[in-house]
Structure 1
C-alpha cells in the first residue's frame, strides 16, 4: 500500500500537530490554555442560526446544491462588496462559492500549475498556499516577509527567471501570522508586476473585518486593475464566527473564477443550501456582530500587549487580525521557546517557523481565548519566567 509521492512529501498539517501536543499535555493532567489556533471562540449570531434551522427544514435544500453556489448567495456576496467597498461584482460570472476559503486556495493551484510550474508563496504564510502548490505538482518559491519591510514582499528582488516562470502569486493582508497590513500603493505595484509577467494574483482576505482604531483594510478588488489579474478569497469564518460551517467564496477575474468552478464541479458538489441561506442572512442581515467582534478582540489584544510588555517585550499593536507576532527571547529558536512555554506553563503558542523559514525567530499568539484565560496565561508566564532578555 505505497502512498503516492505527493502524499509522502506532505508534512503533518500544522494545526493537527498542535492538537496532538494539546492532547498529550491534557493526558498528563495539565490545564492547557491554547493561544495557538485561530478559531474564534465567539458564537455565530442567533439570526444566522435561526435562518439555518428554518432552511434545513425545507426539503428543497436536501438535494444537491448548485456547483457554483446558489445565485442568491453569489448575489449576496456581490452586494456585500458593493456595500463595503463600492466594488461592482457580477454574481453570475465573478463569484464562486467554496467549502471554506481553504478549499478554494488549495484547488486554485490545480487550475493553473503544471508539474514544475512556480507559485510565489509568502513566507511566513498560511501553510495551504505551499501545500496546494506542491499537491498540484508545482514548485513553491518563497517571498520573504521581513519586519524591516513591514512584512511585505520585495517584488524587485524576485529574479527575472523566476518571475517569468511563475503562474500564481499568493498574498494575504491583513496578514496571518504577522498582523501586517498593505496599502493601495503596494497593491498597485503587485498589479503592475502581475501584468508584466502574466501572473494570477490570489489574494486571501479573511481578516478584512477585524481591524482596530478606525482602520479599514483595503479589499484587493477595490484597487484599479485588480480584476484584470486576479481574485480574492474570503469566507464567513472570521467575520461572522462561522469557522465550522465551511462556507466561503472567491471573487474577481471571470476567467479565473470559471476555471476554479470547473475543477470544483468535478471534485465536490457544493455547499449545503441551508448553510448558503444562513450565509446570505449573515451577509445581508444585521451587521452588529462586526463591531462587537472588533471590541472584543481589541480588549484581548490590549491584554496581550500589556502582558508581553511587562515581560520585557516591545510589541506594536497590530492594526488588524486576531494575532500578535512577537520575537522570541535571546537564546531560543521558535520551536524551543514554544516547547519550553508549554512544558513550564501549559500555555500553547505557535512557533513562527511553522509558517515558513522566515518565521523563525517569532511566535504567534491567537486572540481566540476569553479575557480571563488570556490574563491567566500571561500571569503563568510572569510567574515562571519573570522578564525575558532581547
Structure 2
C-alpha cells in the first residue's frame, strides 16, 4: 500500500482570516435554505439599482463592440473623467498617468499595499477598520499596527494616538472616511490635526479609502490629500460601488504620486490586467452625467439612519452613536455580555451577533471583525419595512436575555 500525501495550501492562505461579512452572509443563506425568513443587515451593498443612464451606457458600449482588452491602468476617457472628478470634487490635481483603474476599490487597496510594503514594514490601521485592511496588509508582508478609538471618541483616532504608534518601521497609514464600519466622518479640522503629525514623518504614505464619499450627511467631504503637503504622499482610493449603486460592476480607482501609480499598474499588469471594457465606458457616463438619483439615495440613507438610531435607542443597554456617513451604525452592545437566554450565554460581540441570527433571524456582523469587540455593525442598506421588522425582532430577542 502506498501512502498518499495531500498538497498543502501556502502559509499566507493559512494565516488569512475569512471575511466576516461574507461568512455571516453565508450563514444567513443557510438559514433561509432551512425555511427561515432572515433579514440580512450584514452586507455593505446598496439596495438600489444602478441608475438607468449608466446601464444604458454599458449596453451601448456592448453594441459598439467595446468588448476588447483595456489598457492596464484604465481607458483614457475614464482616467480623464477621474482627473476632472478629483479636481472638481476634492481639490486634487492629478495627471492621467497618476490614475489607475482596478477591478474594484479592494484591488486598488491591495495594489497599494503590495507596492509599498516590504516584509516587516508596519501598516498603521485606524480602528474600527474595514475587515480586509488587516488581511491585505498581511498578504503584502506588512505588520498591521492597530490604533483604536471607541464610541466615546466617535470612533475617530486622535493625533496623540497616531503619533504614539509611529516607529522607524512605519510605512503606511490606512483608514476610511466616511468609515466602514462606523459611519463616522473625519472633519477637515480632524484630518488637518492628523496631517500635522504625519508631516513630521515623510517616509509614511497615507492610503485614504474614500469609497463612501458621496454618502455623507454632514459637512462637505474632505480628502486628506487636499491638505498642505499631503498630495505627494497620499494614495486616494475611490470607486463606483457605493455612491453609484454599482457593486457588481467591480470598478475602483486610485489617484496617487506617479511612482506609486506606476508600481500599482505594474502589479496589476501581472495579475488581472485592465478592468472590463464596458463597465469602464459606463463609468465615464456616471462621472460626466451626474443625475439626481445619487442625491436621492443619500437622502434615503440618511432617513434610514434616523429610523435605525431611534429604534435602537428604545432598547435598554445599547449605546447608540450618531453616524454621519456611509450606511452603517456601530452600536456598543457590551452591556449584554454575561447575560443568558437560558440556552445561550453571551460572552462577547461574536456571541451577540450569532444570537441575533439564530434567535431573531437578523444577520449583523460582530465588531470583532472590525477591531472593536464591544460593538456590532448594522447595515441600513435595506428597506424601511425590513429595518422596522429587524429592529423589532432584535428588541424582542434581547428581552429574553437575563
Please confirm whether the aligned pair reaches a TM-score higher than 0.5, indicating the same fold: yes
Is the contact made by 1:35 and 1:369 (CA closer than 8 Å) also made in structure 2?
Answer: yes
Cα distance in 2, alignment partners of residues 161 and 330 from structure 1:
30
Residues 1:58 and 2:72 aligned together: no
Task: Report matched runs for 1:1-390 at 5 Å.
Answer: 1-59=7-65, 61-90=66-95, 92-157=96-161, 162-197=166-201, 198-212=203-217, 214-312=218-316, 313-332=318-337, 333-356=348-371, 359-386=372-399
Residues 189/306 of structure 1: CA separation in 2 closer, same or farther (3 Å cut): closer
**Offset from partner CA, 1:262-299 (integer Å, 9 cap, x none):** 21122221111211110011111133122111121112
Cα distance in 2, alignment partners of residues 388 and 365 from structure 1:
20
In the TM superposition, residue 27 of structure 1 has moved relative to its aligned partner by 2.7
Is the contact made by 1:237 and 1:244 (CA closer than 8 Å) also made in structure 2?
Answer: yes
In the TM superposition, residue 158 of structure 1 has moved relative to its aligned partner by 5.2
Residues 387/77 of structure 1: CA separation in 2 closer, same or farther (3 Å cut): farther
Unaligned runs of 5+ in 2: 1-6, 338-347
Unaligned runs of 5+ in 1: none
Residues 15/160 of structure 1: CA separation in 2 closer, same or farther (3 Å cut): closer
In the TM superposition, residue 311 of structure 1 has moved relative to its aligned partner by 1.7
Is the contact made by 1:151 and 1:178 (CA closer than 8 Å) also made in structure 2?
Answer: yes
Helix, strand or coil: the match of 1:164?
coil
Residues 153/316 of structure 1: CA separation in 2 closer, same or farther (3 Å cut): closer
Helix, strand or coil: the match of 1:276?
helix
Is the contact made by 1:221 and 1:252 (CA closer than 8 Å) also made in structure 2?
Answer: no
- What do you get for the CA RMSD once the two structures are aligned? 2.0
Cα distance in 2, alignment partners of residues 316 and 355 from structure 1:
16
Cα distance in 2, alignment partners of residues 256 and 37 from structure 1:
31
TM score, norm. by length of structure 2: 0.90
Cα distance in 1, alignment partners of residues 165 and 383 from structure 2:
48
Name whichever of 21-30 and 159-168 sits farther off: 159-168
Residues 79/195 of structure 1: CA separation in 2 closer, same or farther (3 Å cut): same
Is the contact made by 2:207 and 2:237 (CA closer than 8 Å) also made in structure 1?
Answer: yes
In the TM superposition, residue 114 of structure 1 has moved relative to its aligned partner by 1.4
Helix, strand or coil: the match of 1:330?
helix
Helix, strand or coil: the match of 1:218?
coil
